[in-house]
Amino acid sequence: QAQVEESGGGLVQAGGSLRLSCTVSGLMLDDYAIGWLRQAPGKEREGVSCIARRGRSTVYADSVKDRFTISRDNALNTLYLQMNNLKPEDTAMYYCAAALYTWNCDLGEANPAAYWGQGTQVTVSS
């Protein structure tokens, strides 16, 4: 059974940076589309960024382009999200999702059928 675990969230001032990590076990990371989604209080979940299977492509939501960078280390089975120039509107619970065939980085799909972690909270103060 695959397991997904996020870490790295916290409280940061606007303009600051955080790096989120998502460690997976029980699957080969390179075989999966894997990405980050977030959900702010009172809002629907939204896709943030994703790496397609075999690393063929990466995608970003318009709201985070040029500020966030997604990467992964297949040897460590870990996905990262480097978040720079954070804004209060980035405040949300951030989730990592990994899918074999049921999702391939369509950021418009808010709840893809995937392995999910429990989330890590990011809070950006103004």
Residues 6+ apart with CB under 8 A from 3: 24, 25, 26, 115
**Dihedral, CA atoms, 74, 65, 97, 20, nearest 10 degrees?**
70
Confidence of residue 1 (pLDDT cuts 50, 70, 90): confident
**Mean pLDDT score, 34-57:** 95
DSSP secondary-structure letter at 57?
A: -
- Band (pLDDT 50/70/90 cuts) for residue 101 is confident
Mean pLDDT computed over 7-11 = 98
pLDDT at 89 over 90: yes
Q: Residue 78: which of 23, 29, 31 has the closest Cα? A: 23
Spatial distance between the Cα atoms of 76 and 94, rounded to a whole number of angstroms = 20
**pLDDT tens-place string over residues 54-82:** 988 999 999 999 999 999 999 999 999 99
On average, the pLDDT of the chain sits at 95
